[in-house]
Chain A
């Protein structure tokens, strides 16, 4: 084995320039595979794998639909609209719409998500990192409003 390794070493030393070129080409090839894989992953992230049962979404400025979807799935609620903004929006629309919202909230130093609908009295608290199944179940329960218009996240279905 040692002898073979020595022979390989001799072979490489004797054809230095060829092996250097092969080495760098292979290095570029490996990096390219990785870069292509990463780019493909990023592109897939911006696809709309989700179908929404809402016509319009209200979020803080600078947040995109993709950010919102990612954050709601990861349980990080920073993209969700604050409660005050939810109430203001309702006032702006002068009760012309049925609105449902998921709002961020801090309770005992822990971020929680508050589900708020204009038909429901009181608040239901959800734990952070809520599972998609749980979210679906919950939103189905709350689906008493007509499909006329829902502001904020009404229901999120993922394929």
Chain B
């Protein structure tokens, strides 16, 4: 009977009938597929990003180590060395990632 009524209403140009159970089922299937796709995309992307940052850090590690040793030798305290590393981290990673996050939130 529902099917008949749906067909009857759908024949009209201005209105449509949605059979709720069917629609809910379709929506759930679509949501599951999209969620799977998004999870895969996010995993691959984040893995690539962390690999890139990790590799860059490994390349930089020795140079940073030398810089810290020199700063230590010329009398910088532990706190100052920590401040130096922290500022380097904030400027190179924290600020750009926050900027990217906010930019997308506002403009996209």
Q: Do A and B come from one complex?
A: yes
Given A59-B15, A149-B1, CB of A22 within 8 Å of CB of B34: no
Complex contact B5–A97 (CB within 8 A): yes
Tell me, in angstroms, the Cα distance from A60 to B46 when the chains sit together: 42
Decide if the interface of chain A is mainly helix, strand, loop or mixed. helix
CB-nearest residue of chain A relative to B11?
A92
Q: Which residues from B are CB-within-8-Å of A97? A: 5
Interface assignment of A124: CB less than 8 Å from any CB of chain B: no
Q: Which residues from A are CB-within-8-Å of B20? A: 52, 54-57, 65
Query: Nearest Cβ in chain A — how far from B64, in angstroms?
Result: 8
Interface assignment of B31: CB less than 8 Å from any CB of chain A: yes
A-B contact count (CB 8 A): 171
Complex contact A30–B99 (CB within 8 A): yes
Interface assignment of A123: CB less than 8 Å from any CB of chain B: no
Complex contact A35–B15 (CB within 8 A): no
Complex contact A60–B100 (CB within 8 A): no
CB-nearest residue of chain A relative to B84?
A4
Interface assignment of A15: CB less than 8 Å from any CB of chain B: yes
Complex contact B19–A55 (CB within 8 A): yes
Complex contact A52–B100 (CB within 8 A): no
Complex contact B6–A56 (CB within 8 A): yes
Complex contact B31–A61 (CB within 8 A): no
Complex contact B18–A59 (CB within 8 A): yes
Enumerate A1-59 residues with CB–CB distance to B below 8 Å. 1, 4-5, 7-8, 11-12, 15, 18-19, 21-36, 38-40, 43-44, 46-48, 52, 54-59
Interface residues of A (CB under 8 A from B): 1, 4-5, 7-8, 11-12, 15, 18-19, 21-36, 38-40, 43-44, 46-48, 52, 54-66, 81, 85, 88-89, 92-93, 96-97, 149, 151
Interface residues of B (CB under 8 A from A): 1-2, 5-6, 8-9, 12-21, 23-24, 27-28, 30-31, 34-35, 38, 41-42, 45-46, 49, 52-53, 56, 59-60, 63-64, 67, 71, 80, 83-84, 87-88, 91-105, 108
Q: What are 26 inter-chain pairs, A to B, with CB distance below 8 A?
A: A7-B84, A8-B84, A11-B88, A12-B92, A25-B49, A25-B53, A26-B53, A26-B93, A27-B97, A28-B100, A30-B96, A32-B45, A34-B105, A36-B41, A36-B42, A40-B38, A43-B35, A46-B27, A46-B31, A47-B28, A55-B19, A57-B20, A58-B17, A60-B15, A61-B14, A151-B5
